[in-house]
């Protein structure tokens, strides 16, 4: 019985700390919740848009691999002042179980006590169809301009 109680408490602890999946009906539907999550500084909501084994490839940065690492990366970004995300009109190509989206974006980063900076970039998101919708499985971005 004691082992069972330990197992249940471990599972409940993981449920609280690991971000859940947030499949979208269409790949384009991922943009509004991502923008809202940035505005709310909700790293779990952003990470939930990614598959468990997703990767992010950022220019000049180490690879971020896995949903939990993606969440942690966003926690660091929010701590550094990342607060606003604006996304231009995305171009999406979709197959039966894979989709690709490219778009331009602009982010506002304002470190505590510092001036706001605008960062402009390009992103390419690779989506995988999963049960219940679509999740991002790869995210590659670079500065634009």
pLDDT, position 10: 37
CA–CA separation, 23 vs 50, rounded Å? Answer: 8
Q: Specify if 5 maps to a domain.
A: no
pTM of the model: 0.85
pLDDT, position 49: 98
pLDDT, position 107: 97
CA–CA separation, 17 vs 84, rounded Å? Answer: 25
pLDDT, position 5: 38
CA–CA separation, 51 vs 65, rounded Å? Answer: 10
Q: Does residue 9 sit in helix, strand or coil?
A: helix
Q: Specify if 57 maps to a domain.
A: yes
In the chain, the number of structural domains is: 1
Q: Specify if 8 maps to a domain.
A: no
Burial 86-116 (b: 16+ CB within 10 A, else e): ebeebebeeeeeebebebebebebeeeeeee
CATH of the domain at 121: 3.10.450.50
pLDDT, position 77: 97
Decide if 52 contacts 66 (C-beta within 8 A).
yes
Q: Specify if 14 maps to a domain.
A: no
Q: Specify if 9 maps to a domain.
A: no
End-to-end alpha carbon distance in the chain: 61
81 lies in which domain range?
Answer: 19-143
Residues of the chain with pLDDT below 50 are 1-17
């Amino acid at each position: 019985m004691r082992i069972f109680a330990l197992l249940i408490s471990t599972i409940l602890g993981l449920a609280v700390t690991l971000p859940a999946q947030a499949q979208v009906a269409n790949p384009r539907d991922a943009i509004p919740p991502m923008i809202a999550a940035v505005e709310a500084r909700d790293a779990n909501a952003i990470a939930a848009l990614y598959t468990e084994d997703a990767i992010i490839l950022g220019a000049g940065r180490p690879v971020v691999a896995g949903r939990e690492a993606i969440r942690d990366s966003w926690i660091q970004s929010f701590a550094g002042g990342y607060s606003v995300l604006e996304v231009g009109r995305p171009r999406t190509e979709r197959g039966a179980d894979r989709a690709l989206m490219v778009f331009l974006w602009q982010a506002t980063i304002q470190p505590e006590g510092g001036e706001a900076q605008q960062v402009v970039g390009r992103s390419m998101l690779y989506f995988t169809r999963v049960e219940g919708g679509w999740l991002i499985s790869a995210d590659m971005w670079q500065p634009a301009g």
